[in-house]
Structure 1
Amino acid sequence: MTVHSGKRTLPVTDLSLVVLVGSTGSGKSTFARRHFKPTEVISSDFCRGLVADDENDQSASGDAFEVLHYIAGKRLAAGRLTVVDATSVQPESRKQLVQLAREHDVLPIAIVLDVPEQVCAERNAGRADRAGLPRHVIQRQQRELRRSLKHLEREGFRKVHHLRGVEEIEAAEVVLERRYNDLRHLTGPFDIIGDIHGCASELETLLGRLGYADGVHPQGRTAVFVGDLVDRGPDSPGVLRRVMGMVAAGTALCVPGNHENKLARWLRGKQVQHRHGLAETIEQFEKEDAKDPAFRERVREFIEGLVSHYVLDGGKLVVCHAGLPEKYHGRTSGRVRSFALYGDTTGETDEYGLPVRYPWAEDYRGRAAVVYGHTPIPSATWLNNTICLDTGCVFGGRMTALRWPERELVDVPAEQVWYEPAKPLTTEAPGGQDGRPLDLADVTGRRIVETTHMGRVAVREENAAAALEVMSRFAVDPRLLAYLPPTMSPCATSQLDGYLEHPHEAFAAYREDGIRQVVCEEKHMGSRAVALVCRDEQAARDRFGSTADGVTGALHTRTGRPFFDAPAVTEQVLARLREAVSSAGLWDELETDWLLLDAELLPWSLKASGLLRKQYAAVGAASGAVFPGALAALEAAAARGTDVEGLLSRQRERSADAAAFTDAYRRYCWTTDGLDGVRLAPFQILAAQGRSLAALPHDEQLAIIDRLVAADPTGLLRETGRLVVDTADEASVAAGTDWWLELTKAGGEGMVVKPLQALVRSESGHRLVQPGIKCRGREYLRIIYGPEYTRPDHLARLRSRALGHKRSLALREYALGLEALDRLATGEPLWRVHEAVFAVLALESEPVDPRL
C-alpha cells in the first residue's frame, strides 16, 4: 500500500480474488460498491438471500457460501476479477477462498477494514435488518480479526492491505494493476529465440541474421528469449551480458528457464547439484569475478526479476520456457510457474534415465500460439499452434528463432559440439503441418469460433450435426478442404415495374456505406467451385499432408463435395490449371507452391443435372404438354362465339411465361464429353503460400486472373467480364445499369457488385461491409421464383421477402472464410483451419429462404 497526496493507494491485480476482511458493520459493502463494479462483487448476504429469501438467515449460511464459492469459481475460470464481500474473519473461511484462488491460478488479495468495535455497533444499530444483532457477535468478530492480522500472508494471501480506522478507509483508492505476464499491448514484431545454453558466438551470429546490430534492430523489432541462457556452453556470462543489456535497453524480453532457476539458487548460496552444465557455468563465473565482482549480484537480480511467461500481441502469442496449456495463460501461481519452467512428466523414465515428458502440445487447442524451448529436437515444427525452438545448438545442432507475426524460422548452425547430449536429438511428439488428427470434439455441439474480423461467431448444435453428416460422408479429403465460400446476399428488393432485383439497389447500398468504387463482375452460368492447385504431388504432400498417390490438389463445391466422381478427371482439370499457372509465371511471382482459387465451373448442368431433370425440365415438359391443347380448345370455343377472351388471354400469357422459363434454364445446359465443353471461370485468388490474398483489391485480382486465362493453352479457363462503377456518379451508375441490362438481355445470369478494395468496413469502422451483392437478371429469376413470377400480383407478394437473415448469414460466413484463409496462410494446424471451414458449412443449414 502506498500513499499519494493523502490518498491510500491499494494496488490490486486485474485478475485476482479479492477478499474483504472485517467485522459486521465495518463498511465492506460500501467499500465494494465504491471501488468495484457491481458484477465483480459477490456478497455472502446476497447469496444467503438467494437460498433463503432472507439475507440475515444465518441457518442458510452453509448453502449460501456454497453458492458464493461456485459463482466465484466460474468468474475466476473465465478470467474475471472477483471480490468476496463477507466477514472472512475466521481462518477456516479464508482457507477455502485461498484454496479457490489456487485452483484457478490467481492471486488471493486481502483488504482488511479494521474499524473500532463502537463504530461497528453504531452502524448495525442504524440498520433495521441488523438492529437486533447482539453486541457479543461484533466483539467475537473483532477478537478473531485481531488474531488473524499477523497470519494473513502465511495463509497464502499474496498482498494484504490493512486499512486502520474510518478515515483511512475513506481515503483509500483501489488501483488495478496489469499482471506482470500480461503484455498483450505489445504487438511486436518479435524475434523469439530458442535455448542458447552459453553459446554466445552463435547467438551473435543469429542476432546478425535477424538484423540486430549491437542488440538493436533498425526496424524496432523486439527479441524474446525463451530461457536456458546458461549452462553447458562455452560462455554463459557472455550470453547473460548480451541478454541483460538488451532487456535493460528495452529491445528484448526474457522468460526464465529451469537452468536460470537453478543458477539463481546457487547465487543465493543454496545447496544445488553441479550437474547438467552448472559446473561449467560456475567455473566461468569464477573467472568473471576478477574482472567484474558485482556481476554475480546483477545476474541474480536479473533472474529473480524474470516472469514465468508472457502473453503478447493481443493474446495471440504466449512465450514461455517449457510450454503452457491454455488454462494457464496469463495466470499467476506456483503451479503455473513450475509448468512454464519444467513442463510436466508422465512419471516414467526413458532408457537414458531421463524423465518422459508429458506431450501437452498434442492436446493443445488454444487460439494463442505457444512458443517455447526446453526439450531439444532436431528441427522446429508447428504442432497444434505450438512450436519448440530448442534445436540443440549446444549439442551440435542449430540455434533457432521465430519471426512473429511472420511465422518465419531463422536458424544458424552450431560452431561445434559443445556438450555431449545424454541422448540423441529426437522429436518426441508428432509434428508437421497437420499436428494432431481431427477430433470429433472439434466440431460437435454448440461452438463459438473466434474470428479476427467479426469477433465471436456462434454455431448451433443442431447445425453442427447437419454439417457433420455432409462433411463425413460426402466431402473431399479434409486435408485438402481449406476453404468454403460464403453465401451471397442479393440486393434489396426493387420497386421498379417488372423487376424484383435491379442494380440501382446494389449501388445505393454501397453508396450508403461510404464506398464509391465498386466492381461489377459478370455472374457465370455455372456452379461455385474452389480449386486448390499445387505445383506438384510433393507440394501437396508437404503442405497439406496428402497421402494418396497422384493427388495434386482438389476441386470441390461450396459444400465441400468433389465436382467429379472420378479423381482422374479432377486431376485432369488441375493439370490444365497448373499449366496455365506455370505459363503465366505465377509460381515464382507469388513465391508459392500452391494456389487456392474461387471460381465458377460451367455449365450448371454439369453438377445440377438431377435438379434440372426433376424440378425445371419437369415444369417445362408439363407446360409443353398441357398448354397447346388447352389453347386450341379455347381458340375453338372463341371461334364458335363463346365468350372466353379473358381466359384465353390469361392462358396465352401463362404459356408464354412457361416458354420463357424453359428457354431460361436451357441456357445453363449444354452437352459435355469428358472435359470438352467444360469451362472454369476463376475470379479470385484466395491464398498462396504464407499469405491470404482475400484483401487484394479486385482490379488487381482480375488482372492476375486475365493473365492466367491468357496463358491457358487448353481452352479450359474463361475470362470474367467486369466494369468499375463510381456509386456517387450518376453517369457511371447508369453505365453499370446498362451493362447489366445487356448481360441479362442476352440470357446472362446477372452480376455481382463488390467493393473494389475487397475487404472493407463501414465508414464508422464498426462492421464489415458485404463482400458482394448479387443482382440477378429478370429471366434468370424466372428459374428461381417460377414461370409466372413477373406477373404484377406475384411480384407484389414477392417484394415482401425478408433479407435480414440472409445478409447476416453472408457476413458471418464471410468472416469465417477469412479466418480459415488467415489460419491456412500462417501455417496453423489442420484442426484450426477446419474449425472455421466446418463452421461455414454448419451455418449453411440455418433455415433461410433458398430462393435468396
Structure 2
Amino acid sequence: MRRVLTRIETPEVGFVVLCGASGSGKSTFASRHFSDTEIVSSDRCRALVGDDETDQSVTSPAFELLHTIIDKRLELGRLTVVDATNVKPEDRRSLLEVARRWDVLATAIVFDLPLALCLERNRSRQDRRTPEHAVKRQHVTMRRTAKQLRKERFARVYTLGSVTELDTVEVVRTRLWNDRRDDAGPFDIIGDVHGCHSELIGLLDRLGYDTSADPIVHPEGRRALFLGDLVDRGPGVAEVLDVAISMVSAGSALCIGGNHENKLSRALAGRNVKVTHGLAETLEQLDRRGPEFQKHVAEFIDGLLSHYVLDGGRLVVAHAGLPERYHGRSSGRVRSIALYGDTDGETDEYGLPVRYRWVEDYSGDAAVVYGHVPVPVAQWVNNTICIDTGAVFGGQLTALRWPEKQLISVEAAEEYYEPIRPVDADAAGRPALSLDITDVLGKHRIDTSLGGRLTIDADRSSAALEVMSRFAVDPRWLVYLPPTMAPANTSERLGYLEHPDEAFGYFRSAGITEVVCQEKHMGSRAVLVFARDSASAQARFGITNDEAGVIVTRTGRPFFSDPELTSVLLDRIRAAVDASGLWDRLGTDWLILDAELLPWSAKSAELLRSQYAATGAAGIVSLDAAQRLMADAMRRGIELDALATQTRSRAEHVASFVEAYRRYCWDVDGVDGIEIAPFQILAAEGEVLARRPHRWHLEQIDALIAQASELLRSTDRRFVDLGDGVSVNEATDWWHTLTDRGGEGMVVKPADTIVLADKGLVLPGVKCRGREYLRIIYGPEYLDPANLERLRQRSLGRKSSLARREFALGIEALDRFAANGHLSRVHECVFGVLALESEPTDPRL
C-alpha cells in the first residue's frame, strides 16, 4: 500500500514541475502553496501573448515565453513552479535542460487523481474547459510515464493520489546543504594538508587550538574549516583523518571535499582508479589501520559537500574555487568544478590539466577561498585567495582567519613528495641568455606576486610576438614595460566627466588614508634602461656593442629612430645621476626609470598630422563655410537662428579642440626642446625600487632634476590626507588650477605605492583629466549635454582590470630581473604586458 504523503520538501533555490492531467488540481495546489510570482503557468502565458488562456493557436509562442521566464528566474536563483500538464517526457526534457543550465535541482510533483474526478472538475470549470478526450489522453500518458521521472534526473519525485492528500499535504522550503549563510564563524580556513600531520598540529597550535584535547577544540569557540585534500602524498594521512573526522564530529570543524578525497572514495568502493598522485601511500597507510577504519573514512568522505556558502553569503569555500554563477547551486557540474576546477581540455608541459583562470573575471561580492593548485605565496586576487601553499612539497601549510582575513602559516619540516609541476617553476638548465618561443606563444599562465596567476590568450600572445620580433629593441634591454592606467570613476558633476572626488573616493574606499597627486604631463610614456658605462652594460645586460642604454616606448620599440639622439639624452641623464651621487647611494651600476617624454609631437607627429590636425582643419573650414552660408540666408530673411547658434557653438568647440592639442606640441631640434619628466625609479641592482613609497622617489628625482634642469622636467605634486577635508579641498582646487590653464590633469596614487587590500591589488594610480584636455580624447563636442550623458555610460571595469594585471606583470618582471632570474622568465612577463595591451578595451579610457 502506498504511504500517504504529508510533506513535500523543495529547495529555496529550486525548480518545481507540476505533472498531471487537466482538472487534477495543479493550479489550485500551486496558488495555495506558492506566490503568484513563483508560478509560471502555461495558461497565463497564452493569455499574455494571445489575450485568451484557451487559445490553442498561440501555444507555441506561449511556451517560448514560459521557457524564457523560467530561464531568467533560475538564472537569478528564484524558486520557480511550472504549472502545465507536463505529462510527456519530451515536454519535461526541455524544462530539465533549463534546470541543468543553471545548476538547479528539479522536483516533480505528480497529481495522480482518479480520471473520473479530473473529468468532473474539468466539466465544472466556468473559465476554460479542455475536451474530454484530451483529458483522458493526458491521464493515460501521465500514468504511463510517471515511473520514468527518476530516470529523467528529477532530484525528488512526489505523488499526490487523493483529494485528502491535496488538502493536507504541507510544502516545506528547505535550504541546500551547502547553504550555511547563517553560520558566521569565526573560522580558521586551512589549505591542502595532504597528510602533513605534524604541520597540521603545528598550525592548529599557532591558531590557538588546544591540540592536547581529544577532539581538538578552540577555547574561544573558533572552528577549523578544511578545504579538502587531506589525503595522499604525505606520511600522516591516517593521523590527519583522525584529527579532521573527530573535529567535524565534535562540531569544532567543518570540511569540504577535494579531488583527492573523491578519488580515494572510489578506490575504497572498489572502483577501478589509477593509483597515482600519492594515492598508493594513502591506501598503504589506511590498510595498516584495518577495514573498520577504512569504512569510517569512506563514510566521512561520502558526507563531504563540494562547497559552502557562509557568513550571510560573504564567504564561499570550495576546494578548487568556484565562479560566482555556481555559488549555492547544486549539480554534478558544480561539484566537478568545485573539486577539480574548470578545465579547457588542454594539458601543460607536465601533462597536468590546464584550468580556466576564473579569478581574473571574478567580480562577486563573496570572498572565495580555495586551494587545489599550490602557489608560492597566498595573495588576494579579485576577492579570491588560494591558500594551498604546497606544504607536502616542502612549502608551507597556510590558514586564513575569517572574518579577520589574517594569514597564518607554518613551514613544512621537509619535502615529503616531489611535485610533478614545480610550485615556482623556472627556466633552470637553459643557457643564460637563451630565449624560448614556447614561453610566450599560445595560451599560457603567468604567476605573479601581486596578481596571482594571470592568463594570456593565444591570439594576444601572437600579437605581442609580432611586435617584439619586428620592432623591439635588443631583448636583453627589454626587462620592463609600463602598465596602462585606469581613469577615475565617472563623475556626476554637471559639465564634468572626470573629477578628483571620484579618484579620492576610490582610494578612501580601499582603506587608504594618504595619496599623492602628481601633475600629468601630456607627452609619451618612456622607459629608460641604462647602465653607468658600457662595461657595466656588458656585465649586467650582456651588451657588447658599446651601447649603454635604451629609451623605449610602452610597446618596447626604440623611442627615437636616431640612435645618436638616444645616446646624447642618456649621457646627460647619466651625468645627473653621477652628480647627485645616486649610483653610490643605491649601490648600483644600472637603473630603470619610468618617465614621460615631451613634447607629445616628439613621438606622435604623424598621429597629430593625420588625425588631430586633420580633424581640426576640416572642422574649422566646414563650419566657417556653414556660418557664412547661414549668414547670407538670414540676410535674405530665412529664419535660421537656432541652427546658426548651434553651428556657432560647434565652431567654438572645434577651436577649443585645436587649442587643446596644440599646447602639447612644439618644435624640437635634436636634443633642444626635448624634456623628460621622470616620476619613478623602478629598479637598481638587487632591489625593485618601485616598491618604495612615493616620497622617496620624488626626493631622488628632485635631486636629479637639480643637476639637469634643462632636460629633466619637474612634476608638481600634492600629498593628500584623505581624512582631512582641508587637504582634499586644496588638492581639488590645485587640480582646477592646473586644468583651467590648459594642463592635462593629475594622477592620484597611494602614497605607499603598492597596496594589497581585502579585495586584492589596489590600482597603483588613477588618472583624473581636465575638461578641455578630454576634447582630445572624446572629440570637440563631447561636453554637449547629450554627448556627456552618453559618455557617462562608459564601462571602466575592464580598463581597471587591465591596469591591475599589467601592473602586476610589470612588477613581477622587475622582481625576476632584480633577483637575477633567467631572461626568459623576465620576458614572460614583459610579453604578457604587451599581449594584454592588445585586448579590445577602448584605449581612450
Report if TM-score (shorter chain) is over 0.5: yes
The answer to whether the 8 A contact 2:591-2:681 is kept is no
Task: Tell me what 2:714 maps to.
Answer: 718
The answer to whether the 8 A contact 2:576-2:704 is kept is no
Tell me the SS of whatever aligns to 1:12.
strand
Find out whether 1:280 has 2:272 as its counterpart.
no
Q: Deviations over 1:26-51 (max 9, x none)?
A: 44345556766777655444666799
Task: Tell me what 1:230 maps to.
Answer: 231
Q: Matched residues in 2 for 1:832 and 1:126: separation?
A: 72
Output aligned runs, 1:806-825, within 5 Å.
Answer: 806=788, 809=791, 812=794, 815-823=797-805
The answer to whether the 8 A contact 1:198-1:230 is kept is yes
Find out whether 1:606 has 2:625 as its counterpart.
no
User: Measured at CA, do residues 252 and 781 of structure 1 come closer, stay the same or move farther in structure 2, by a change above 3 Å?
Assistant: closer
Instruction: Kindly provide the amino acid, as one letter, of the partner of residue 111 in structure 1.
Output: I
Q: Deviations over 1:35-77 (max 9, x none)?
A: 6677765544466679999754668868876886687568767
Please state how far the C-alpha of 1:159 moved relative to its aligned partner: 1.9
Q: Matched residues in 1 for 2:171 and 2:183: separation?
A: 25
User: Measured at CA, do residues 578 and 100 of structure 1 come closer, stay the same or move farther in structure 2, by a change above 3 Å?
Assistant: farther
Find out whether 1:680 has 2:671 as its counterpart.
no
User: Measured at CA, do residues 680 and 38 of structure 1 come closer, stay the same or move farther in structure 2, by a change above 3 Å?
Assistant: farther
The correspondence for 2:362, drawn from 367, 384, 401, is 367
The answer to whether the 8 A contact 1:533-1:578 is kept is no
Output aligned runs, 1:162-173, within 5 Å.
Answer: 162=159
Tell me the SS of whatever aligns to 2:109.
strand
Find out whether 1:158 has 2:155 as its counterpart.
yes
The correspondence for 1:669, drawn from 666, 672, 683, is 666
User: Measured at CA, do residues 244 and 85 of structure 1 come closer, stay the same or move farther in structure 2, by a change above 3 Å?
Assistant: same
Q: Deviations over 1:693-752 (max 9, x none)?
A: 9xxxxxx987566435334365435131559799999999899879967x799x764866
Q: Matched residues in 2 for 1:176 and 1:818: separation?
A: 41
Task: Tell me what 2:199 maps to.
Answer: 202
Question: Which shifted more, 30-39 or 87-96?
Answer: 30-39
The answer to whether the 8 A contact 1:112-1:162 is kept is yes
The answer to whether the 8 A contact 1:228-1:257 is kept is yes
Q: Deviations over 1:446-481 (max 9, x none)?
A: xxxxxxxxxxxxxxxxxxxxx9x9999999999946
Task: Tell me what 1:24 maps to.
Answer: 22
Find out whether 1:707 has 2:699 as its counterpart.
yes
Q: Matched residues in 2 for 1:617 and 1:210: separation?
A: 67
Please state how far the C-alpha of 1:110 moved relative to its aligned partner: 1.3
The answer to whether the 8 A contact 1:255-1:307 is kept is yes
The answer to whether the 8 A contact 2:110-2:157 is kept is yes
Please state how far the C-alpha of 1:415 moved relative to its aligned partner: 4.0
Please state how far the C-alpha of 1:602 moved relative to its aligned partner: 3.3
Find out whether 1:244 has 2:245 as its counterpart.
yes
The answer to whether the 8 A contact 1:189-1:222 is kept is yes
Q: Deviations over 1:578-619 (max 9, x none)?
A: 97999699999xxxx99997x754334434545777977999
User: Measured at CA, do residues 66 and 616 of structure 1 come closer, stay the same or move farther in structure 2, by a change above 3 Å?
Assistant: closer
Q: Matched residues in 2 for 1:180 and 1:609: separation?
A: 64
Tell me the SS of whatever aligns to 1:157.
coil
Please state how far the C-alpha of 1:226 moved relative to its aligned partner: 4.3
The answer to whether the 8 A contact 2:516-2:751 is kept is no
Task: Tell me what 1:13 maps to.
Answer: 11
Tell me the SS of whatever aligns to 1:359.
strand
Output aligned runs, 1:442-461, within 5 Å.
Answer: none
Tell me the SS of whatever aligns to 2:446.
coil
Q: Matched residues in 1 for 2:96 and 2:423: separation?
A: 42
Structure 2 unaligned residues grouped into runs of 5+ = 426-442, 448-452, 533-544, 621-654, 754-762, 813-827
Instruction: Kindly provide the amino acid, as one letter, of the partner of residue 712 in structure 1.
Output: L
Q: Matched residues in 2 for 1:387 and 1:726: separation?
A: 28
Question: Which shifted more, 801-810 or 571-580?
Answer: 571-580
Task: Tell me what 2:559 maps to.
Answer: 564
Instruction: Kindly provide the amino acid, as one letter, of the partner of residue 200 in structure 1.
Output: H
The answer to whether the 8 A contact 1:681-1:720 is kept is no
Tell me the SS of whatever aligns to 1:680.
strand
User: Measured at CA, do residues 173 and 261 of structure 1 come closer, stay the same or move farther in structure 2, by a change above 3 Å?
Assistant: same
Task: Tell me what 1:110 maps to.
Answer: 108
Q: Percent identity?
A: 38
Find out whether 1:307 has 2:308 as its counterpart.
no
Instruction: Kindly provide the amino acid, as one letter, of the partner of residue 701 in structure 2.
Output: V
The answer to whether the 8 A contact 1:28-1:113 is kept is yes
Find out whether 1:254 has 2:255 as its counterpart.
yes
User: Measured at CA, do residues 86 and 245 of structure 1 come closer, stay the same or move farther in structure 2, by a change above 3 Å?
Assistant: same
The answer to whether the 8 A contact 2:178-2:309 is kept is yes
Instruction: Kindly provide the amino acid, as one letter, of the partner of residue 199 in structure 2.
Output: E
Task: Tell me what 1:88 maps to.
Answer: 86
The correspondence for 2:446, drawn from 432, 435, 459, is 432
Q: Matched residues in 2 for 1:728 and 1:373: separation?
A: 41
User: Measured at CA, do residues 281 and 151 of structure 1 come closer, stay the same or move farther in structure 2, by a change above 3 Å?
Assistant: farther
Tell me the SS of whatever aligns to 2:483.
coil
Task: Tell me what 1:527 maps to.
Answer: 523
Please state how far the C-alpha of 1:408 moved relative to its aligned partner: 8.3
Instruction: Kindly provide the amino acid, as one letter, of the partner of residue 129 in structure 2.
Output: A
Q: Deviations over 1:515-548 (max 9, x none)?
A: 9x99996856633748699999xxxxxxxxxxxx
Output aligned runs, 1:763-842, within 5 Å.
Answer: 801-803=783-785, 805-806=787-788, 809=791, 812=794, 815-823=797-805, 841-842=841-842
The answer to whether the 8 A contact 2:195-2:236 is kept is yes
Question: Which shifted more, 670-679 or 14-23?
Answer: 670-679
Tell me the SS of whatever aligns to 2:487.
coil
Output aligned runs, 1:287-686, within 5 Å.
Answer: 299-310=297-308, 331-334=329-332, 336-337=334-335, 358-361=353-356, 367=362, 398=395, 401=398, 412-413=411-412, 415=414, 417=416, 431-433=445-447, 436-440=455-459, 480=481, 482-486=483-487, 526-527=522-523, 529=525, 564-565=559-560, 569=566, 601-607=597-603, 609=605, 669=666, 671=668, 673-674=670-671, 677-680=674-677, 682=679
Tell me the SS of whatever aligns to 1:432.
strand
User: Measured at CA, do residues 711 and 342 of structure 1 come closer, stay the same or move farther in structure 2, by a change above 3 Å?
Assistant: same
Task: Tell me what 1:844 maps to.
Answer: 844
Q: Deviations over 1:189-224 (max 9, x none)?
A: 987655544331233345567887747799999765
Please state how far the C-alpha of 1:413 moved relative to its aligned partner: 3.8
Task: Tell me what 2:540 maps to.
Answer: none
The answer to whether the 8 A contact 2:401-2:407 is kept is yes
Q: Matched residues in 1 for 2:286 and 2:38: separation?
A: 50
The answer to whether the 8 A contact 1:230-1:281 is kept is no
User: Measured at CA, do residues 280 and 471 of structure 1 come closer, stay the same or move farther in structure 2, by a change above 3 Å?
Assistant: closer
Q: Matched residues in 2 for 1:235 and 1:345: separation?
A: 30
User: Measured at CA, do residues 49 and 409 of structure 1 come closer, stay the same or move farther in structure 2, by a change above 3 Å?
Assistant: same
Q: Deviations over 1:665-684 (max 9, x none)?
A: 57863646449841316499
Instruction: Kindly provide the amino acid, as one letter, of the partner of residue 243 in structure 1.
Output: A
Tell me the SS of whatever aligns to 1:23.
coil
| TM-score computed with the length of structure 1 as normaliser | 0.57
The answer to whether the 8 A contact 2:202-2:410 is kept is no
The answer to whether the 8 A contact 1:226-1:257 is kept is yes
Task: Tell me what 1:541 maps to.
Answer: none
Tell me the SS of whatever aligns to 1:20.
strand
Q: Matched residues in 2 for 1:186 and 1:595: separation?
A: 51
The number of residue pairs the alignment matches comes to 704
| TM-score computed with the length of structure 2 as normaliser | 0.58
